[in-house]
Amino acid sequence: MTSTSSGEHLHLLPESSVDTSVPPNYHSWHVAEMNLPQHDVNLPAPQGKEGRYLMMNNHIWGIGWGNVLQELIFNAHLAYRTNRTFVFYNYTWSVDPGDIAMYNDKPIPARIPITALLSGPIAGAPFPPAEKLPPAVSTEFYRQVCQNSTRLRKDVMGTSLQDASASVIVQAWVDRISQVDDPCLEFEGDQLFDVWLFGDGQRMLDIWPSLSQSPIITEFAWSPLILSAVETNRDLVHPAVARDPKHRAPLPGLLAMHVRRGDFVDHCMHFANWSSQYNAFNSFPQFPDRFTPPEGGGWGINTPENYAKYMDRCFPDIPSIVKRVMEIKASATGRQLDRIYVLTNGPREWLAELKEALRRAATWKSITTSRDMRLSWEQKFVAQAVDMQIAQQADVFIGNGFSSLTSNVNMFRMAYGLPPEKTRFW
């Protein structure tokens, strides 16, 4: 077990002792969460039995990490805005008993403790002293101190927030929660912040002045498990990895690009069918690449020309990828690019073709993909977070405008002051 500067601990088992016939259960991370110092019922107010808590028992589950992280950040930000202690929760794929779930006929962890993915106040680390707020607690501790809770549901607001902007929605819930005297407040039912909100970039932008200054974002960090994966692969990714202790400084010359494959083609067709906009924080007006849904689409259907436009931006083929890379490399912000990292779930054979096409187009010091990374058994099941850490530090990032993972990367890039002209899209 290795201590980190944040006071958290990195639990790495020798690979020789790991049973890779079953997915990891992250037991040591669960134990470490239970042993966090704030998990003491006898602490004085505003902690322990005297705390004021916000539990989001309606959080999303059974869906990809990008979507889960979006909602998690908003839930934690809402708790911060209401001066309540946030109750953090697992990244959950299945709520059924047992430690194993199935995805694409393969076993995966049913639940991953959030501290295996994240650090910072969102995952129980202390707030900056000026905030004077107690650290977040686990669901188990909340159940221990809150035998009874006031329960709220999204539908208490009726349809008044159905098309509202993110800032309006958050403020409405801040006002509603301020009317609750019970120190134990629990939400159930539908999610407060849903896919319709995150899928509409224009509704998201007015929350940015508040969210970007929230310690949920300013103090956000990836877990030691994620950072150690990036550092272990320094020779594959970039020699400057980990020189910045906060892992926020850009990596000179590194082009990261998000290339989704597999069943994402079906998602892209869905976006085209409904003339979708870019996801969440992919719509900052400072970004040079903008997208307006082309006219001609109908209710669940679109024109052949429009389908082609969506696929170029959402599911580009190898010639389109290479063409876009060379366009950006020839631009003023891309001339220094000499390394590539590809965030991808693509098959190895296809990625080999992509690498060869990129090498034919230009000279690169290295081309690395997600499939090339050397990861421990625990790291393999949180590899999407490893990708995000690399992308948020890349000199230039080409993202998928329809992706929640890209949106989260771009949120961090903007929050940490990376030049918006160095965030691009297909």
SS (H, E, C) 314-330: HCCCHHHHHHHHHHHHC
Ranges of the chain whose pLDDT falls below 70: 1-17
> What per-residue confidence (pLDDT) applies to 19?
84
Q: Is residue 413 within 8 Å of 256, Cβ to Cβ?
A: no
Q: What is the pTM of this model?
A: 0.94
> What per-residue confidence (pLDDT) applies to 368?
98
Are residues 208 and 285 located together in one domain of the fold? Answer: no
In total, how many domains does the chain have?
2
> What per-residue confidence (pLDDT) applies to 15?
56
> What per-residue confidence (pLDDT) applies to 4?
36
Are residues 118 and 190 located together in one domain of the fold? Answer: yes
Cβ neighbourhood burial of 266 (10 Å; 0-12, 13-18, 19+) = exposed
Domain housing 63: 2-218
Look at residues 192, 218, 244 and tell me which one is the last residue of a structural domain.
Answer: 218
Residue at 276 is within a domain: yes
- Where are any strands of DSSP class E within 231-338? 251-259
Are residues 63 and 169 located together in one domain of the fold? Answer: yes
Residue 107: partners with Cβ closer than 8 Å, 6 or more residues away? 22, 23, 100, 101
Helix (H) or strand (E) holding 366: strand 366-369
Q: How many CA atoms does the CB half-sphere of 163 hold within 13 Å?
A: 0
Cα distance between residue 24 and residue 258, in whole Å: 26
> What per-residue confidence (pLDDT) applies to 16?
53
What DSSP designation does 287 have? S
Residue at 304 is within a domain: yes
Residue 48: give its domain's CATH number.
3.40.50
